[in-house]
Structure 1
Amino acid sequence: MERRIALPAGYRLGDVLTFHRRDQEAIAEQVTPQRLRKAVVLANTPVLLDIAFDGQSARCMAQADGGMTPAVQAAVEDALLNVLGLRIDPQPFMDLAAGDDVMGPLAQRQPGLRIVQSATVFEALTWAIIGQQINLAFAIALRRTFIQLADIRHSSGLWCYPDAAAAARLDVEALLARKFSRAKAETLLRFARMADGGELDLVVSERNPIGAISDALLAVKGIGPWTVNYGLLRGYGHADCSLHGDVAIRAALQALLGEDSKPDMRRTEQFLQRYAPHRTMAAAHLWASLSPKGDGNG
């Protein structure tokens, strides 16, 4: 499968590449200045997404081990929009913030900022579980372990980020032996097995709106509001996620307001509420304000 996707004016390619370049060992993602290759299981099939950037467009190729079925093709289309950061239009937030004394100047300093997503909802939520309450370097190492233990490789040689079925087959003891805490390992496998077994429906539909999915995730032992909101943001591209529990968001708000201490979660939630229904982009701009590159990759 091959297609070309037009990129919007002012597209910040560097942000996209930075997000997908996090693992320097590059077992599942290979990133160069003009190319992104990522392996992931889509519709039960190992798939390589190979994206070459050329000016204002992206030439996207997908190689599916086992054939490009309609289900795989649909999953590829979704994954491409996610990894390219094309789900959320940033302009409505920019319009909302234009006259705002606090976020307006910050947003104007970071034009074109977008939310880059994980390839799949499952990847976003498992990454949120893996990365919660630990430093980024350790989280990336655990993510790499998770991918390798799931043991699915594309014919290109890249390891695939697994789907729920592959993750559900893992053993808690194997994760514990590779530096996962028991709580994190049990939550990860509990989530994977519920998703694989149908107890958790992660597909948005008229009968299963995003609010119902959020409530179902919150009912899973070990999954809290931060994990859910991060998953909605990075997995679904939901435009109105409140990341008031995120330490980096609170640190950015402290700096923005010029205060001596971080605002608590309640005050942060109240602040972000001003930007509903575009709180996801508010979070992106706060994250970016902490980054030397201003890339919004919280």
Structure 2
Amino acid sequence: MQAFTMALPQDYRSADVLAFHARDAEGLAEQVSGQRLCKAVLLDGVPVLFDVTLTPHEAQCRIAADGQLDATRVQDILRNILALRIDPAPFAALVQDDLIFGPLVARQPGLRIVQSASVFEALTWAIIGQQINLPFAISLRRTFIQQAGKPHSEGLWCYPEALDVARLDLDALTSRKFSRAKAETLLRVARMAADGELHLAQDDDPARAGAALLAIKGIGPWTVNYTLLRGYGFADCSLEGDVAVRGALGRLLGEAQKPDQARTQAWLARYSPHRTMAAAYLWASLNQTAG
């Protein structure tokens, strides 16, 4: 077991991070209680529990592994799940006088984006969640973890790795409400990653990684950009294919209809190289009241 602390930024929004990890009310692989977050993942086949308590200035971390653990990966995973990979300050400075984003940032300063524990988790979650509503996506994710993951000795189920998913057969997923196309894509990327044909390392070049993903059958631009955002922590993802992003943009522009993808892409381009934070604030705006 490892125990240590990580310093948190002065404007750290712990409530946002905890709310993100609490989306599955059944708490299969993540549990949130008060200021405490527990998340379990498989690392090189070893069940690992990340047990983090957030205070105003630091994260108190306990790492419990059911086997030998590669300690070099722990810090990266913590940075991801605690939303410490993308610094929101450059975007805030860029849009300080912007008519659209200036007021949004003023209302929610320091907004951050939570990353997945691994690129594989981000990619598979993007595939699972595409074109379905969030409650159904969370239900499918829970099934996916139970089919391919393993329980940690302290009770939480661990999110699987590529090798675990590659062992599944198609019926294991389609018999549990996965569409055939979704199941085939999950198995395809898992087997490619397990065989070394698809490299999913967090230090990969985002452009090269995105091109490799886009070449895979069943993966389109939205899935690629979402994986770059949640998996790689890439700061310049263009989410014009996201329905919520387009809906938020249309509302902020005072328009009755969502702008199409081409117009949204052109509009977001002015905020490069910080388009990921632009998407984050567009998502957040859907939950804001006027004033």
Whether TM-score is above 0.5 comes out as: yes
Q: Deviations over 1:141-187 (max 9, x none)?
A: 00000000014111111110001111111111110100000000000
CA contact (8 A) 1:250 1:263 kept: yes
Aligned counterpart for 1:108 among listed residues 106, 109, 113: 106
Aligned counterpart for 2:162 among listed residues 149, 164, 167: 164
Identity %: 63
Partner of 1:89: 87
SS at match of 1:50: strand
Partner of 1:261: 257
* In structure 1, distance between residues paired with 2:287 and 2:65: 36
Alignment of 1:32-47 (within 5 A): 32-47=33-48
Q: Deviations over 1:237-266 (max 9, x none)?
A: 100000000000000001100011100000
Aligned counterpart for 1:135 among listed residues 127, 133, 140: 133
Partner of 1:185: 183
Letter in 2 for 1:77: Q
* In structure 1, distance between residues paired with 2:55 and 2:241: 38
Q: Deviations over 1:198-254 (max 9, x none)?
A: 00111255xx52111100000110000000100110111100000000000000001
Q: Deviations over 1:66-114 (max 9, x none)?
A: 123xxx2112111100000000110000010012122212221110100
Q: How many residues align?
A: 289
Partner of 2:200: 202
- Report the Cα offset of residue 44 of structure 1: 2.6
CA contact (8 A) 1:65 1:154 kept: yes
Q: Deviations over 1:49-77 (max 9, x none)?
A: 00011221110111111123xxx211211
* In structure 2, distance between residues paired with 1:34 and 1:293: 26
**CA RMSD across the alignment:** 1.3
Alignment of 1:26-105 (within 5 A): 26-68=27-69, 72-105=70-103
Partner of 2:223: 227
TM-score, length-scaled by structure 2: 0.97
Q: 1:9 to 1:293 in 2, by over 3 A?
A: farther
Aligned counterpart for 2:142 among listed residues 141, 144, 148: 144
Partner of 1:282: 278
Letter in 2 for 1:201: H
Partner of 2:23: 22
CA contact (8 A) 2:4 2:60 kept: yes
CA contact (8 A) 1:43 1:75 kept: no
Aligned counterpart for 1:245 among listed residues 210, 217, 241: 241
Q: 1:204 to 1:161 in 2, by over 3 A?
A: closer
* In structure 1, distance between residues paired with 2:289 and 2:172: 37
* In structure 1, distance between residues paired with 2:231 and 2:202: 11
Q: 1:292 to 1:178 in 2, by over 3 A?
A: farther
* In structure 2, distance between residues paired with 1:106 and 1:292: 9
Letter in 2 for 1:38: K
Letter in 1 for 2:144: F
Letter in 2 for 1:114: R
* In structure 2, distance between residues paired with 1:97 and 1:277: 12
TM-score, length-scaled by structure 1: 0.94
SS at match of 2:42: strand
* In structure 2, distance between residues paired with 1:252 and 1:204: 30
* In structure 2, distance between residues paired with 1:293 and 1:228: 31
Letter in 2 for 1:94: A
Of 56-65 and 103-112, the range deviating more from structure 2? 103-112
* In structure 1, distance between residues paired with 2:202 and 2:6: 24
* In structure 1, distance between residues paired with 2:210 and 2:67: 33
Q: 1:142 to 1:54 in 2, by over 3 A?
A: same
Partner of 1:8: 9
Q: 1:164 to 1:293 in 2, by over 3 A?
A: farther
Gaps of 5+ in 1: none
SS at match of 2:87: coil
Gaps of 5+ in 2: none
SS at match of 2:47: strand
